[in-house]
Amino acid sequence: MRRFNLITLVVGFGPSITNANNGIGPINTITSMSPRITMRGTHPTIPVTQLKPSVNIVRHGGLSSPQKPSMYWAVLHNWLYFLSLGFNLINIQFLVREIVDGDAAAKPSAKAIALSGKVESVDKLLTFAGVGFLSALSDKFGRKPLMLWSALGFMLTNLVQARTTSSIALLYFADFIDGCTSCMLPLCQAYITDVSPPDKMAVNLGIFQGLSVWSTGTFVYCSRVAIR
């Protein structure tokens, strides 16, 4: 059970520690010049005053590029986040049974079902209360730092659950952490909105939503089939 939770936190947090900034890289400059030239002897020359750069694509340090970042950076992170959430949804029910009933494979008791609902309610309540605040912070500090914050929170949640053997308080604490840091979905949606042209925004958001739901639903379905 602990090993399963550790796999979950690695899948959910790993990609968010990488920087997919397209602004880092070698200088690539493409310059097209005016076709107007003068002839001096047998060697053509181009007067400096007639050089007219039409396209400058610079990728170095803080210089901006005319090409916007790809939306698939956010799609990948949200997809992996929901995939790790799928791992967690399957695992947490057995963890609660193990703590309350003493046997993860046994049929869940009424007490185990009630505890599972109470623990999840803490997570959902805090998420509802804080997601707007975290999303507003992303407007000031950027999307990626808050995505990293969300991934870090979910990693700590799974780490605490993986270390839990008999403490109900730790279950509440783990979901408290998750509730206070959960904001990956709206931030990735905002990221895609930021980088998408108006005529592609609806399509890009549809791709994003479809892949996110598919990652969780497919894993949950396959896991339940395997358990049966």
Structure tokens, 12: 């959910």
Q: What value does the CA radius of gyration of the chain take, rounded to a whole number of Å?
A: 25
Q: Tell me how crowded residue 126 is: count the other CB atoms within 10 A of its CB.
A: 18
| Alpha-carbon gap, residue 192 to 197, rounded angstroms | 10
Between these two residues, 224 and 179, which has the higher pLDDT value? 179
Q: What is the pLDDT of residues 189-212, one digit of tens each?
A: 999 999 999 998 999 898 888 877
The pTM assigned to this predicted structure is 0.64
Q: What is the pLDDT of residue 58?
A: 41
Among 17-21, 67-71, 79-83, the minimum mean pLDDT is found in 17-21
Amino acid at position 78, single letter? N
Q: At what angle do helices 201-227 and 72-100 cross, to 10 degrees?
A: 30
Is residue 11 within 8 Å of 84, Cβ to Cβ?
yes
| pLDDT higher at 75 or 60 | 75
